[in-house]
């Protein structure tokens, strides 16, 4: 009986502390000028929570969401360490709280440094919910933000295999392989995809992408021949024509012209498409943020 009373007392005190903290941070605005926020140890919170873990997880998550909403446009006051420490508590109390993983992986990060923390949360969420396509999708998106296109493409491939994943993800994966200087892999994906596309407009767009990628692959082949013959890269694609290795530079119907990236040695395209999101990078699915049921 005494042990039960002690447990109940501990839970009550913890709930009171969370509620008081929440109220102070919401109403006492002068406190925000000081670094007074404190995140308790996840182990201590878990030990005191007993059978109230879901409730406490919701309370801690609500604190983070309100804080971010009030401070999102003031990065110096966002207190990233505090937010991620509280997310650790949330996921310790409720390991299956997918919204918390997505929140840490999508809503919080603003720059590349924060994105690395976001990736950690999304990976942990993926372990807990391996059939939720949102998690590998956003992992791919975050790796794209870090310019790691091939890793991003791998996560998009994982997302594309999961139930309810939108079809556009597979097409975006092809563009990521292109950005990762693997146009042959991008071409292979689109050629495999086109037979399963039913809408005429979508099929025509993919056919255009295939033709565009074929030009890039062929041009890179000629660049390789030039390098083998002259022991150097050409100064530009026009030199392929003047050297007699190429009759003419093909028309770029998807951009403003093909060019040779001297830094990577690969052929690129200057994009002009405004309505083709997958050329600019993975689009964020409309309405898909952190509103995923637990």
pLDDT at 76: 64
pLDDT at 44 over 80: no
User: What's the mean per-residue pLDDT of the chain?
Assistant: 80
The answer to whether residue 126 is domain-embedded is no
108 falls within a domain: no
14: containing domain: 1-94
Buried b (16+ CB within 10 A) or exposed e, 249-261: bbebebeeebbbe
Q: Comparing 182 with 3, which gets the higher pLDDT?
A: 182
Query: Both 80 and 183 in a single domain?
Result: no
Q: Within this chain, do residues 137 and 250 fall inside the same structural domain, yes or no? A: yes
**pLDDT over 60 at 40, yes or no:** yes
Statement to judge: residues 90 and 136 lie in one domain: no
**pLDDT tens digits, one per residue of 72-110:** 777 666 778 888 888 888 988 888 888 888 888 888 777
Query: 268, 127 in Cβ contact below 8 A?
Result: no
Does 111 fall in a domain? no
Asked which of 94, 121, 145 is the last residue of a domain, the reply is 94
Q: What is the pLDDT of residue 106?
A: 85
138 with 265, same domain: the answer is yes
The proportion of the chain whose per-residue pLDDT surpasses 70, expressed as a percent, equals 78
**Judgement on whether residues 139 and 46 belong to the same structural domain of the protein:** no
**Residue 170 and residue 87 share a domain:** no
> What pLDDT sits at residue 222?
96
Q: What is the pLDDT confidence band of residue 42, given thresholds at 50, 70 and 90?
A: confident
Structural domain count of the chain:
2
- Clarify whether residues 10 and 141 are in a common domain: no
3-state secondary structure the chain: CHHHHHHHHHHHHHHHHHHHHHHHHHHCHHHHHCCCCCCCCHHHHHHHHCCCHHHHHHHHHHHHHHHHHHHCCCHHHCCHHHHHHHHHHHHHHCCCCHHHHHHHHHHCCCCHHHHHHHHHHHHHHHHHCCCCCHHHHHHHHHHHHCCCHHHHHHHHHHHHCCCCCCCHHHHHHHHHHHHCCCHHHHHHHHHHHHHHCCCHHHHHHHHHHHHHHHHHHHHHHHHHHHHHHHCCCCCCCHHHHHCCCCCCCCCCCCEEEEEEECCCCEEEEEECCCCCHHHHCCCCCCCCCCCCCC
Asked whether residue 105 is domain-assigned, the answer is no
Per-residue pLDDT at 149 exceeds 80: yes
In a domain, 286, yes or no: yes
Q: Among 41, 65, 94, where does a domain finish?
A: 94
Q: Which of 47, 69, 94 is the last residue of a domain?
A: 94
Looking at per-residue confidence, does 290 or 278 come out higher?
278
More confident residue, 207 or 283: 207
pLDDT for 157-193, tens place per residue? Answer: 999 999 889 888 888 899 899 989 999 999 999 998 8
**Do 44 and 138 fall within a single domain?**
no
Q: Are residues 155 and 269 in the same domain?
A: yes
Q: Are residues 147 and 291 in the same domain?
A: yes
- Assess whether 164 and 239 both reside in one domain: yes
Both 181 and 283 in one domain: the answer is yes
Confidence of residue 271 (pLDDT cuts 50, 70, 90): low
Is the pLDDT assigned to residue 228 strictly greater than 90? yes
Q: Is residue 112 part of a domain?
A: no
Instruction: Label residue 5 by pLDDT band (50, 70, 90).
Output: very low
Q: Determine, yes or no, domain membership for 66.
A: yes
Q: What is the mean pLDDT of residues 264-277?
A: 68
Residue 107 lies in a domain: no
Residue 291 above 50 pLDDT?
A: no
């Amino acid at each position: 009986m005494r042990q039960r009373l002690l447990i109940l007392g501990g839970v009550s005190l913890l709930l009171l502390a969370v509620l008081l903290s929440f109220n102070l941070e919401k109403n006492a605005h002068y406190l925000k000028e000081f670094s007074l926020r404190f995140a308790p140890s996840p182990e201590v919170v878990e030990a005191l929570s007993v059978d109230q873990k879901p409730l406490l997880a919701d309370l801690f998550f609500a604190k983070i969401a309100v804080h971010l909403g009030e401070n999102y446009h003031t990065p110096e006051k966002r207190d990233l360490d505090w937010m991620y420490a509280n997310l650790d508590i949330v996921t310790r109390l409720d390991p299956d709280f997918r919204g918390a993983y997505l929140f840490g992986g999508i809503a919080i990060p603003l720059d590349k440094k924060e994105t690395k923390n976001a990736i950690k949360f999304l990976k942990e969420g993926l372990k807990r919910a391996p059939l939720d396509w949102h998690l590998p999708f956003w992992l791919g998106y975050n790796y794209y933000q870090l310019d790691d296109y091939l890793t991003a493409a791998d996560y998009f491939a994982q997302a594309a295999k999961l139930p309810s994943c939108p079809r556009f993800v597979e097409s975006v994966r092809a563009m990521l392989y292109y950005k990762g200087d693997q146009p042959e892999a991008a071409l292979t994906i689109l050629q495999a995809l086109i037979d399963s596309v039913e809408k005429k407009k979508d099929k025509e767009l993919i056919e255009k992408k295939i033709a565009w990628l074929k030009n890039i692959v062929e041009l890179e082949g000629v660049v390789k021949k030039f390098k083998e013959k002259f022991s150097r890269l050409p100064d530009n694609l026009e030199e392929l024509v003047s050297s007699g290795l190429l009759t003419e530079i093909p028309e770029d119907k998807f951009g403003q012209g093909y060019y040779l990236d001297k830094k990577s040695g690969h052929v690129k395209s200057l994009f002009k498409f405004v309505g083709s999101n997958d050329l600019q990078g993975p689009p964020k699915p409309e309405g898909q943020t952190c509103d995923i049921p637990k």
